[in-house]
């Protein structure tokens, strides 16, 4: 429901939107995560006002923060470079946001530019939560990376996380030549 609601959020009057979010986000964790994920995916097309509202919600709901981070990871390559840099700094405010952003970026890692991939790997050294999320996201698509990228990942701290599920995750461990070496 949260993911669906996020697709119409910009068309709901501000007062109604605020009332709904004040009730639903704190009460329903799955709604909060799905809503955050959808808002993150739509972030590049949202007004600056809605973008700011979303970032403020990070401090009120861990589930929303994780979902927003994951959604922003998926839409990351469509964001302006200045916004990308801001999000990398913003992740220091919330561990859940950092893990979600890492997981979203890990899911699209093969499609990122070489520069964006290198920036993501630099963030691994700054945040264990981001590293854990990136490892989870990467675990689904390591086979799609070229050998040079796989070698960089093999030498980064990320391999420590790729086989370990995020806290609260029920996913099975995978085995690949990078993570199991």
* Residues contacting 17, CB < 8 A, separation 6+: 9
Please report which residue ranges of 28-90 form alpha helices under DSSP H.
Answer: 29-42, 48-57, 62-75, 81-90
Angle at 161 between CA 157 and CA 166, to 5 degrees: 145
Find, among 104, 85, 90, the residue nearest to 54 by Cα: 90
Handedness of CA 7, 12, 98, 27 (dihedral sign): negative
> CA–CA separation, 33 vs 133, rounded Å?
15
> CA–CA separation, 117 vs 39, rounded Å?
23
pLDDT (tens, 9 = 90+) of the chain, 181 residues, equals 667 667 677 788 888 888 878 888 888 899 899 999 999 999 999 989 889 989 999 998 999 999 999 999 999 999 999 999 999 899 999 999 999 999 999 999 988 888 888 888 888 888 999 999 998 898 887 777 777 777 777 655 665 565 554 444 444 333 443 344 3
Backbone angles phi, psi at 76, to 5 degrees: -55, -45
């Amino acid at each position: 429901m949260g993911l669906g609601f996020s697709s119409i959020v910009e068309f709901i009057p501000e007062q109604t939107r605020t009332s709904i979010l004040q009730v639903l986000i704190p009460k329903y964790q799955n709604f909060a995560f799905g809503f955050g994920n959808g808002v993150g995916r739509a972030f590049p097309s949202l007004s600056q006002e809605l973008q700011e509202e979303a970032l403020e919600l990070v401090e009120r709901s861990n589930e929303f923060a994780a979902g927003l981070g994951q959604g922003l990871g998926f839409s990351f390559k469509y964001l302006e470079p200045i916004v990308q840099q801001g999000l990398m700094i913003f992740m220091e405010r919330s561990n859940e946001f950092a893990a979600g952003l890492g997981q979203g970026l890990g899911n699209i890692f093969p499609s990122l530019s070489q520069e964006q991939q290198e920036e993501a790997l630099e963030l691994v050294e700054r945040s264990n939560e981001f590293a854990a999320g990136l490892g989870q996201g990467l675990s689904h698509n390591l086979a799609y990376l070229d050998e040079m990228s796989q070698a960089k990942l093999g030498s980064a701290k990320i391999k420590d996380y790729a086989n370990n599920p995020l806290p609260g995750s029920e996913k099975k461990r995978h085995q690949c030549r990078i993570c199991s070496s």
